[in-house]
Amino acid sequence: MTGRPMPIADHPLRYLLANELHARPFPTVAAPSRAAYLAIKPAQNGAGRDRALDRAHLLALLDRYGAAHPQPDATHYSGQLGKHFLKWESHTEFVTYTLFGEGNGDRPFDAATFGVFPADWLDAAPGVRITSALIHIERESDDAVITDKVRDWFVPESLAISRVLEDQLVIAGDFRIDPAGHMRFAVFARDGAGDRRVGRVVQRICEIETYKAMSMLGLARARDLGGRLGEMDNRLTALVGDMSGTPSRPEDTLTDLLRIAAELESIVHNSSFRFTATGAYESIVNQRIAVLREERFMGRQTFAEFMMRRFDPAMRTVASTQARLQAMSDRALRAGDLLRTRVDVERSAQSQALLASMDRRADMQLRLQTTVEGLSVVAISYYGVNLVAYMIYPLATSLDLSKGLLTALITPLVIAAVWWGVRRIRKAMH
């Protein structure tokens, strides 16, 4: 009964996600042997690259040697390439090629191993080299012999060497580019170290070098921004200092602040991926070194100590630049908000003063209107009395009244009628 499947539907991604944990197996590397490692990345926007070009480039190499093709959507490949064994992997921003060959050759770190990659094929690569390395692998248990060899092969002041995985192997490198353009690393396997363990260590060394190189791209970006951020910081400081007094034209100051805030936001947008990726790559470098379980070899610095002295300060510079950029962006936005509030308050005060002035003018206009209405009543009444008087003068004789007395009698009546008429018109207009 244990072999029967459960009567329940699987999540559509269950097998894909479970197999992802086993998608990139470590190579099995016998000693003595050699490895050539190459990482290719587009000069710009590696994360947004056309991955079909990476696959086409890989297939072009496989076809040169008549090797089998990977699955259409594969992100890794392993197979025989003539006398060598090839391991290919596609990552977020780059692809890697690792060649393994048997034996050490006549000379250690012989760049002829890279001859497996045809020159025209390298020229057609959809990107540029971010790093490459030659790895020398041999069996050696005598620490004195190892000491003599690394003294001849590497620059002493940069040499990092350590015992790893409970002293089953010794690894060494100086993280310098040799005349052929490659990094150099040596792996000395003790007699009891198995091929799989050797393969894991070689893989870790390649990952350390690659992610270290990718992390340093963040340092280059931070250095490029240094001068520009300094200039913008001075401008921002001057504008904020001007705000503490009375800006001659607050609207102009606000415009300048918003312009700086927009520039900073653009820099944040263009740099956020690189700085975030640098932090992730730094973590991978430190994690890959940690899993090697290093121990000191003959009092020399370990890989972890080398990174602490040379790599960690660079990463702190990147983190500092990222924090400075974010702080400046927040500072510009806060200053803009404060100045906007100040401008709004000033405009509100101006609006209140304008409203008060309008109220005064309206009151004056009302008084003037009342005065004009009074004068209008007098003027209209004057003409009205004359008109009415002319109309009723013929009655003066019959009523035995003089014209003066008759005019005096009708004047109040005409004035009252005119006043009443003006009031009706005024009410109708309102």
| Both structure tokens of 91 | 């990552």
Q: What is the pLDDT, as a whole number, of residue 62?
A: 96
Query: What's the predicted TM-score (pTM) here?
Result: 0.77
| Both structure tokens of 113 | 């191993």
With contact defined as beta carbons under 8 Å apart, do 24 and 95 qualify? no
Phi, psi of 276 (to 5 degrees): -65, -40
Q: What is the pLDDT, as a whole number, of residue 397?
A: 64
- Residue for token digits 């009151």? 363
Low-confidence residues of the chain: pLDDT under 50: 1
Kindly list the distances between the CA atom of residue 248 and the CA atoms of 243, 255, 256, in Å, as whole numbers in the listed order.
10, 13, 13
In our burial notation (b when 16+ CB lie closer than 10 A, e otherwise), range 245-259 reads eebeebeebbebbbe
Distance between CA 256 and CA 250 in Å, rounded? 10
Q: Domain residue spans in the chain?
A: 21-208, 215-353, 363-429
Element at 77 (helix H, strand E)? strand 76-81
Q: How many residues make up the chain in this entry?
A: 430
Q: What is the pLDDT, as a whole number, of residue 373?
A: 66
| Both structure tokens of 274 | 């690189």
With contact defined as beta carbons under 8 Å apart, do 240 and 251 qualify? no
Beta strands in 178-256 (DSSP E): 183-189
Q: What is the pLDDT, as a whole number, of residue 1?
A: 45
Q: What is the pLDDT, as a whole number, of residue 141?
A: 93
